[in-house]
């Protein structure tokens, strides 16, 4: 996994062709091949040797902008089996996991491999990303997507087919993971393995789509006592329409993707300090028996 190529486009490279309406098509250049669009044909040979940011014209006279795709474009256009993590959330996951050059990261599940690409990019060739996926058909698609983006199987990547809950101890040694990322329906089922593999001070980040998952994950995390007080957030991204005096938010936006929960691991044998803040009255209901139960007053949740 080397640096992204620069200079003239070569054969076998990913290239993004953008037409005058902004429609993007991604191809892998191949000498002698032809791109067929409903707006004319473009021989790959007219792309190979070009500089990024140059224009080629189809047989029907339509101009196409030639660029290598950025990762954000690639993940949104790649074949997918499961819902992918969107670029805005991937960026926050990298930040919340404190993932950088040399980081040792584990993620589950892999789905279509969108987040995997961001994690591998952030951890770099000196890092190590282990991806665990329980569905072999998804693992296969993810592998194709990741290898297509990196131009081969990244040496810093290990893909394990199986359930994270049953991860054999021999696969990942205890306390060796700097950041564990969970994107699955039931992340609370993975807290035992998380406790075993994440190093003291390491990060746990979960992406969940619904408020019920969010609540269940946070409460289960607190009960373990092995993680710092979880922090939760959601990112709302609004793009803008800019055309002369018509400057306003775009009419369409992605209203909801998911919530992110993050916490950091306690040292072996240590428990997170008890929360000093009283829960909001009624937040846990009268029959609640979990941590802080003696402080619960009943009444309306605040
Ligand atoms: C929403 S997808 C992940 C999408 C992925 N993060 C991406 O950006 O493309 C959720 C995946 O988690 C997998 N999964 C669910 N529970 C799992 C578990 N306990 N261990 C491993 N994989 C799991 C599912 O099979 C599914 O492929």
292 part of a folded domain? no
Residues 198 and 119 in one domain: yes
Q: Are both 78 and 191 inside the same structural domain?
A: yes
Q: Is residue 180 within 6 Å of ligand 1 at its C-beta?
A: no
Q: Do 153 and 112 have their domain in common?
A: yes
Q: Is the CB of 127 under 6 A from ligand 1?
A: no
Which of 111, 119, 194, 260 best tests ligand 1's pocket when mutated (most atoms within 8 Å of CB)?
111
In a domain, 299, yes or no: no
Probe ligand 1: pick from 132, 134, 165, max atoms within 8 Å of CB?
A: 134
Residues 57 and 87 in one domain: no
Give pLDDT, residue 283: 83
Supply the pTM of this predicted model.
0.92
Give residue 127's pLDDT band: very low, low, confident or very high (50, 70, 90). very high
CATH of the domain at 259: 3.40.50.150
Closest CA to 86 of 214, 260, 261, 241: 260
Residues 171-218: pLDDT tens digits?
999 999 999 999 999 999 999 999 999 999 999 999 999 999 999 999
For residue 282, tell me if it sits in a domain. Answer: no
Average pLDDT, the chain: 93
Ligand 1, closest atom to CA 189?
Answer: 19
- For residues 210 and 89, membership in a common domain is answered with yes
Nearest to 96 by CA among 220, 207, 200, 195: 207
More confident residue, 254 or 233: 233
Instruction: Give the Å distance between the CA of 111 and the centre of ligand 1.
Output: 5
**Does ligand 1 lie within 6 Å of residue 141's CB atom?**
no
Domain extent at residue 86: 73-238+254-268
Nearest CA to ligand 1 atom 14: 109
**Tens of pLDDT, residues 50-86:** 999 999 999 999 999 999 999 999 999 898 888 999 9
Pocket lining: 109 vs ligand 1, CB cutoff 6 Å:
yes
Question: Tens of pLDDT along 234-289?
Answer: 999 999 999 999 999 999 999 899 999 999 999 999 999 877 777 777 888 877 76
Residues 32 and 100 placed together within one structural domain of the fold: no
Domain assignment present for residue 281? The answer is: no
Q: Are residues 49 and 137 in the same domain?
A: no
Percent of the chain clearing pLDDT 90 (strictly above):
84
Q: Are residues 162 and 61 in the same domain?
A: no
157 and 34, same structural domain?
Answer: no
58 and 117 inside one domain? no
Q: Which residue, of 37, 52, 69, is where some domain finishes?
A: 69
Question: Is residue 112 within 6 Å of ligand 1 at its C-beta?
Answer: yes
Radius of gyration of the chain (CA): 23
Supply the CATH number for residue 49's domain.
Answer: 3.10.330.20
301 assigned to some structural domain: no
In a domain, 298, yes or no: no
| Whether 258 and 111 share a structural domain | yes
Looking from the CA of residue 107, the nearest atom of ligand 1 is: 6
3-class SS letters over the chain? CCCCCCCCCCCCCEEEEECCCCCEEEEECCCCCEEEECCEEEEHHHCCCCCCCEEEECCCCCEEEEECCCHHHHHHHCCCCCCCCCHHHHHHHHHHCCCCCCCEEEEECCCCCHHHHHHHHHHCCCCEEEEEECCHHHHHHHHHHHHHHHCCCCCCEEEEECCHHHCCCCCCCCCCEEEEEEECCCHHHHHHHHHHHEEEEEEEEEEECCHHHHHHHHHHHHHHCCECCCEEECCCCCCEEEECCEEEECCCCCCCCCEEEEEEECCCCCCCCCCCCCCCCCCCCCCCCCCCHHHCCCCCCC
Q: Is the CB of 138 under 6 A from ligand 1?
A: yes
Please report whether residue 289 resides in a domain: no
The average pLDDT across 106-125 equals 98
What is the number of domains present in the chain?
2
Domain boundary among 33, 54, 69: 69
214 within some domain: yes
**169 and 199 part of one domain:** yes
Query: How far apart are the CA of 115 and the centre of ligand 1, in A?
Result: 11
Distance between Cα 18 and ligand 1 center (Å):
32
Residues 6+ apart with CB under 8 A from 230: 217, 218, 221, 222, 261, 262, 263
Domain boundary residue among 35, 69, 103? 69
């Amino acid at each position: 996994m080397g640096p992204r190529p620069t200079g003239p486009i070569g054969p076998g490279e990913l290239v993004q062709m953008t037409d005058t309406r902004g429609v993007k098509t991604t191809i892998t250049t191949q000498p002698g091949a032809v791109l067929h669009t409903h707006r004319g044909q473009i021989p790959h040979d007219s792309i190979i040797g070009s500089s990024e940011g140059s224009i080629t014209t189809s047989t029907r006279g339509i101009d196409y902008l030639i660029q290598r795709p950025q990762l954000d474009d690639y993940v949104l256009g790649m074949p997918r089996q499961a819902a992918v993590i969107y670029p805005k959330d991937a960026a926050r996951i990298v930040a919340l996991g404190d993932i950088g050059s040399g980081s040792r990261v584990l993620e589950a599940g892999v789905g279509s491999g969108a987040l995997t690409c961001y994690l591998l990019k952030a951890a770099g060739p000196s890092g190590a990303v282990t991806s665990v996926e329980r569905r072999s058909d998804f693992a296969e698609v993810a592998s194709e997507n990741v290898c297509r983006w990196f131009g081969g199987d990244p040496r810093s990547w290990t893909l394990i087919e199986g359930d994270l809950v049953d991860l054999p101890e021999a696969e990942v040694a205890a306390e060796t993971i700097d950041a564990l990322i969970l994107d699955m329906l039931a992340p609370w089922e993975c807290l035992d393995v998380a406790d075993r593999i994440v190093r003291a001070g390491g990060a746990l980040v979960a992406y969940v789509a619904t408020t019920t998952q969010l609540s269940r994950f946070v409460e289960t995390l607190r009960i373990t006592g092995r993680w710092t007080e979880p922090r939760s957030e959601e990112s709302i991204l609004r793009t803008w329409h800019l055309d002369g005096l018509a400057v306003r938010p775009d009419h369409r936006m992605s209203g909801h993707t998911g919530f992110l929960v993050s916490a950091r691991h306690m040292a072996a044998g240590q428990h997170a300090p008890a929360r000093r803040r009283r829960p909001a009255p009624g937040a846990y209901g009268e029959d609640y028996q979990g941590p802080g139960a003696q402080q619960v007053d009943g009444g309306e949740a605040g």
